[in-house]
């Protein structure tokens, strides 16, 4: 999996001010990659450009994938006319039916399968929505604040489970939590205000897995790098 953004420039249709000007960055290989930065620097816009959901930019995005890119965000909703378990079974290819039980139990939402989506808490809704994307075919899944309403301990369980089950897949994780990004992601793209040069800085993360727990001091150094780059 390889995505390369070269010399991207973009401005919102209703604005005369550029969001990006000559931005270049690269994402390659499986694992958790991150987009980090303050609100308003264009993290979601860049993610949607990579996913093919935003057009009208100059520059090029080279994509080398087999199964494509999926994009999920924390306010996405499922229809309320049937139980969430029925939605998951309809989306899920039959060859992966065992994944439903595995993921829903690990994510703490197995008891939600007979409930309608609008009856769930925001955190449960986020976990159900993320599950339906994980059940599909993809090379890169963009998670745009996908676990924003989930408590810290459960987020850690979910991320470690994803890294274990989907070790051959790539994830682009967007979060405002500097500790989480530094701890779980292997590559971190710190997106900055357009007035700063360069507009994006790449930092190596600690890539925490079940088999590798980062050293506290190394984690703190990575967090400082991220903060100073922002």
Q: pLDDT band for position 96 (50/70/90)? A: low
Tokens of 223: 């967090």
pLDDT given for residue 57 in this prediction: 95
> With respect to CATH, is domain 2-229 assigned 3.40.50.300?
yes
Q: For residues 24 and 15, is the Cβ–Cβ distance under 8 A? A: no
Q: pLDDT band for position 112 (50/70/90)? A: very high
Residue in this structure with the two tokens 């987020």, named with its chain if needed: 155
Q: Is the peptide bond before 97 cis (omega within 30 degrees of 0)?
A: no
Q: Is the peptide bond before 85 cis (omega within 30 degrees of 0)?
A: no
Closest CA to 1 of 34, 33, 30: 30
Distance of CA 96 to the CA centre of its chain: 22
Angle between the 97-106 and 122-134 helix axes, to the nearest 10 degrees? Answer: 150
135-167 per-position pLDDT tens digit: 998 999 999 999 999 999 999 999 999 999 999
Residue 97 has pLDDT above 80, yes or no: no
pLDDT given for residue 194 in this prediction: 84
Domain boundaries, the chain: 2-229
User: What is the value of pTM for the model shown?
Assistant: 0.94
Q: pLDDT band for position 121 (50/70/90)? A: very high
Mean pLDDT of the chain: 93
Task: Tally the residues of the chain.
Answer: 230
Helices (H), the chain: 43-51, 84-91, 97-106, 122-134, 152-165, 178-184, 216-229
35-81 per-position pLDDT tens digit: 999 998 999 999 999 999 999 999 999 999 888 999 999 989 888 88
Residue 175 has pLDDT above 90, yes or no: yes
201-217 per-position pLDDT tens digit: 999 999 999 999 999 99
């Amino acid at each position: 999996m390889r995505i390369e953004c070269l010399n991207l420039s973009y401005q919102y249709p209703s604005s005369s001010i550029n969001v990006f000007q000559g931005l270049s960055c690269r994402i390659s290989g499986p694992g958790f990659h991150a987009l980090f930065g303050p609100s308003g620097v264009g993290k979601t816009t860049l993610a949607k450009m990579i996913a093919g959901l935003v057009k009208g930019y100059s520059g090029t995005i080279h994509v080398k994938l087999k199964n494509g890119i999926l994009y999920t965000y924390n306010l996405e909703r499922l229809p309320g006319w049937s139980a969430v378990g029925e939605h998951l079974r309809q989306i899920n290819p039959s060859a992966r039916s065992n994944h439903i039980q595995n993921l829903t139990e690990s994510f703490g939402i197995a008891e939600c399968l007979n409930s309608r989506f609008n009856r769930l808490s925001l955190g449960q809704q986020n976990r159900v929505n993320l599950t339906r994307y994980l059940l599909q075919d993809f090379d890169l899944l963009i998670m745009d604040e996908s676990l924003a309403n989930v408590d810290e301990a459960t987020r850690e369980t979910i991320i470690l489970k994803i890294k274990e089950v989907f070790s051959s897949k790539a994830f682009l994780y967007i979060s405002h939590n500097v500790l989480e990004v530094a701890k779980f992601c292997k590559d971190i793209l710190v997106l900055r205000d357009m007035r700063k040069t360069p507009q994006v800085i790449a930092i190596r993360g600690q890539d925490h897995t079940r088999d590798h727990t980062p050293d506290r001091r190394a984690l703190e150094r990575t967090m400082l790098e991220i903060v100073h780059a922002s």
